[in-house]
Structure 1
Amino acid sequence: MSAETPVCQLLERQDADYRGWWWVAPPRDGWLEAGQGTAISADLTVREAWQARGRPAASPFEALPRGGETPGEGTPPGAVLFWPKSHALGEWWLLWLCATLSPGTPLQLVGENQGGIKRVLKALAALGLGCRKLDSARRCSLFETRLDRVALAPEAAWTRFEADLGSERLTLASHPGVFGHAKLDDGTRLLLGELGAALPEGRGEGRGDILDMGCGDGILAAWLARRGARVTAVDVNAFAVEAASRSLAANGLVGEALESDVYSALPGRRFDAIVSNPPFHQERAIDYGPAARLISEAPDHLNPGGRLLVVANAFLPYPDLLERAFGGFEILADDRRFRVYVASA
């Protein structure tokens, strides 16, 4: 199988033995998934694609394979880091690799030129790591260095900020690459203004069982938990799940946070409400897939009378999706940039 993405096509033509290497933050590419080595990714869908082929894959927040094709075979002989569009996230991966792998381990860094791969030269220099260019093609570049211990720890990338909600404040954990990084999104703010009046009263005390889908830094989950809801926060991104967990803890709140590709981790579970500011980008491309699944499958995960509340950019085609899934919906707020929709099961 030939490589499908430009970055993998550049790697495919290298005269290198990648057996046992780690592929860090890789894209979806059949050539990678059918090849050698181990995927290290915060994206649940990437890891599941590798595991479906019987390939090893792990999150940076779990026990890691140490080389070869199975855990426990020693330190991997090298790693390839696919530079993300978020430069700060790429820097975190560098710090994590320096802290995780043995000094002297070869590291290749690959990415699209318009995605900022050439900025890795300054990032490596700031850490005291040398670098040489190996190749360039398909508007991509490939660099090589060797890992070493550095003064900064990966934990330094985690920060906190105070979200000012007018009548209250929430302390939120923040990490590069997580939606809402270090700021309160305007769409989320609009949704929060409607939640109090729009949520159905749950069974028992508080607001019942509520699902925060695509939780990001966990602001919706924390806001709901503070009001007595039994909150489950899910995201496909392991950084977001960790951020939501930290945000709940920072405010002395209790809730469940777990990785899920939309509803994949929630078979058979139902909620009194589902709230979401769903993503519609995959890297630079528009991707309605997750939001479409969120809406179309929501009736199967709502208790009778339960509600789905979604905020979205006004131009997105969610009305048709809501009409098909629920037979009707209301617009609770519209500031010309964002709309808050509600639909009842």
Structure 2
Amino acid sequence: MSFSTPMGQLLARQTPLIEEGEWLVGPPLDEGLLAGPKLRVWTLDHLIAARWREQGHEVVEGLEPPQMARALLFWPKTMELGRWWLAQLNHHCTPGSALRIVGEHHGGGKRVPKELESRAMRCVKRDNARRCSLYESATVAGDMPDQWGEFEALGLRLISHPGVFGHGRLDDGTAMLIEALPALAGRVLDAGCGDGVLSAWLAQRGAEVTAVDINHLALEATRRTLAANGLEGEVLASNMLTEVEGRFDAIVSNPAFHQERHLSLDPARQLIEQAKNHLSADGVLYLVANGFLPYMAPLQRQFARVDVVAEDRRYRVYRASRR
């Protein structure tokens, strides 16, 4: 069995690989784990949930936790998100429930012992390989801290969370995109909605907004942002446009180009390939990206006309239309 991630490769050294009754919390897409015996998974990522389900595993997707007696937490690259996971497990598991934590050193895994110590949780280092460490601990009684934050931008109240892109600030690329947008009426899709700033800005100006993201924290942030501003919109979990139905007068996006610490153009390329089939005859795609990312050629393959409508040393805003 071949394990495709460093954390999976470290776990492959363990006997047993997965403890009986253990839930995998926030796992990556590791081919060795996916192809192995059926497991139980809790994830906030809609794409990851779909892949685990395809392989026949039991999956709980979203912010509502399953009932767990023991858990294996895959430490995320964002420390605040790791702290959120720990708080969730301590709050929802019976105190003393078995907990293992595996993390990559460059992704914050080295700091796990201090995080456990700060919560009076025991910490035993069980293994170290592939620049990863595996720790053994147990849950303790704990309250669930409110990590949701609020900030203002563009005359809007924006609700944010450490696990959401651009947490606590307006991203410069998104700001450029908004400045370049004309008045958009009718049905508008916000692909990769993050904290909901684009959705709220568009809804405030009369657009009928649908917002999609694979991250359930982002979806909840968008719902809260819309509600905080007295606005309405449909919010859906979707891998770009995979779960989206119907056509739109405009699609707007600041697509992610990182998966963990690796550069990935897949989300943007997937959006570009799918967008044409979800736009009305006169519909338009607006996309902002770092200037070094090679999106012009994929856009020109899918659309009759592609223009750069705004640009600086860092970002570029594309406008693509079917005719």
With normalisation by structure 1, the TM-score equals 0.90
In structure 2, C-alpha distance between the alignment counterparts of 1:233 and 1:219, rounded to whole Å: 10
In structure 2, C-alpha distance between the alignment counterparts of 1:63 and 1:84, rounded to whole Å: 17
Give the one of 278, 296, 301 matched to 2:255. 278
Residue 56 of structure 2: aligned partner: 54
Residue 197 of structure 2: aligned partner: 219
Residue 246 of structure 1: aligned partner: 224
8 Å contact kept, 1:214–1:277: yes
**Pair 1:160 & 2:160 matched:** no
Give ranges in structure 2 of 5+ residues lacking alignment. Answer: none
8 Å contact kept, 1:18–1:37: no
Report the alpha carbon displacement of residue 63 of structure 1 after superposing the two structures with TM: 6.3
> What secondary structure is seen at the aligned counterpart in 1 of 2:181?
helix
**Pair 1:316 & 2:293 matched:** yes
Going from structure 1 to structure 2, the CA distance change for 1:63 and 1:121 (only over 3 Å counts) comes to closer
8 Å contact kept, 1:19–1:37: no
For 1:140-164, what per-residue CA distance to the aligned partner results, in whole angstroms no more than 9, with x for missing partners? 10111100112x414x11111112x
Residue 228 of structure 1: aligned partner: 206
> What secondary structure is seen at the aligned counterpart in 1 of 2:305?
coil
Give the one of 188, 195, 207 matched to 2:181. 195
> What secondary structure is seen at the aligned counterpart in 1 of 2:37?
coil
> What secondary structure is seen at the aligned counterpart in 2 of 1:196?
coil
Residue 72 of structure 1: aligned partner: none
With normalisation by structure 2, the TM-score equals 0.96
Residue 2 of structure 2: aligned partner: 2
Give the one of 86, 101, 121 matched to 2:113. 121
For 1:23-59, what per-residue CA distance to the aligned partner results, in whole angstroms no more than 9, with x for missing partners? 1110101222223431111111111111112211112
Residue 203 of structure 1: aligned partner: none
For 1:223-247, what per-residue CA distance to the aligned partner results, in whole angstroms no more than 9, with x for missing partners? 0010111100000111111111111
Residue 29 of structure 1: aligned partner: 30
Report the alpha carbon displacement of residue 196 of structure 1 after superposing the two structures with TM: 2.9
Residue 260 of structure 1: aligned partner: 238
8 Å contact kept, 2:192–2:254: yes
Report the alpha carbon displacement of residue 10 of structure 1 after superposing the two structures with TM: 1.1
In structure 2, C-alpha distance between the alignment counterparts of 1:217 and 1:41, rounded to whole Å: 19
Give the one of 127, 133, 138 matched to 1:141. 133
Report the alpha carbon displacement of residue 185 of structure 1 after superposing the two structures with TM: 0.4
8 Å contact kept, 1:42–1:238: yes
Map 1:40-119 to 2 at 5 A.
Answer: 40-62=42-64, 64=66, 66=67, 75-76=68-69, 78-119=70-111
For 1:301-332, what per-residue CA distance to the aligned partner results, in whole angstroms no more than 9, with x for missing partners? 00110110011101111110111010321111
Report the alpha carbon displacement of residue 193 of structure 1 after superposing the two structures with TM: 0.6
8 Å contact kept, 1:20–1:36: no
The share of aligned pairs that are identical, in percent, is 49
